[in-house]
Amino acid sequence: MQEIVDGFLKFHHEAFPSRAELFKNLATQQQPRALFISCSDSRMVPELVTQREPGDLFVIRNAGNIVPSYGPEPGGVSASVEYAVAALGVADIVVCGHSDCGAMSAIASCQCLDHMPAVASWLRYADSARVVNAARPHQNPQARIASMVRENVIAQLANLRTHPSVCLALAEGKVTLHGWVYDIASGEIQRWDEIHRQWTPLAEHRDARVGAA
């Protein structure tokens, strides 16, 4: 804990003063450009990976970068999606999975989660991805997990489309969906090309909207 406190003190004395004008402008308003949905995993830091400043991203983080389909009892993720789209008017929504994801590893390897019932219940929102992934051949367990990570991103993009705010924004051409997978070891990102139904390196596509979901 002391390291966290020391980190805050460093921020307050070094990082904050150099961005004082930025924080002054952000004190009473925010206009983020994108909604970024990623995993809670400590190794995945959206602002670091995308090199964004405070105020640039509206971020949702949870186990497995999951977006439950819209239902009669919307939860915190649904409320955050709705606020980002309907109130803040974000132009882009990124669902970003990552390598070595514990949540996807548990699903892909059929790990028993009886001792974590809340986690088990939450991961059922990835059932469609689990079924698709289980039906495909994989060379080894690592390939099965990597494939599960990708299938989950595609599944969560589909779940996003069930949200009324997202559906309306898509119909009006006000928002674009993006599926990414971040590789921790290499620092590279693969993007989902909805048009050609394939994953390609993000570095090869400077136009973010080409092949977007």
Alpha carbons 59 and 47: distance in angstroms, whole number: 9
Cβ-Cβ contacts under 8 Å for 161 (sequence gap 6 or more):
167, 170, 177
161 is catalytic: no
Q: Catalytic one among 98, 144, 150, 191?
A: 98
- Selected catalytic residue, list 41, 130, 178, 191: 41
Give me the residue label for tokens 């070595």. 100
- CB 168 within 8 Å of CB 84: no
Helix, strand, or coil (residue 32):
coil
- The answer to whether 12 is a known catalytic residue is no
Is 167 a known active-site residue? no
Catalytic-labelled residue, pool 96, 101, 178, 191: 101
Those residues with Cβ within 8 angstroms of residue 47's Cβ, 6 or more apart along the chain or in another chain = 53, 54, 56, 57, 59
Residue 41 among the catalytic residues: yes
Q: Which residue has the tokens 């495909």?
A: 136
State the catalytic residue, choosing from 6, 12, 43, 124: 43
Tokens of 99: 């390598």
> 102, exposed or middle or buried, with CB in 10 Å at 0-12, 13-18, 19+?
middle
| Catalytic annotation present for 112 | no
Active site residues: 39, 41, 43, 98, 101
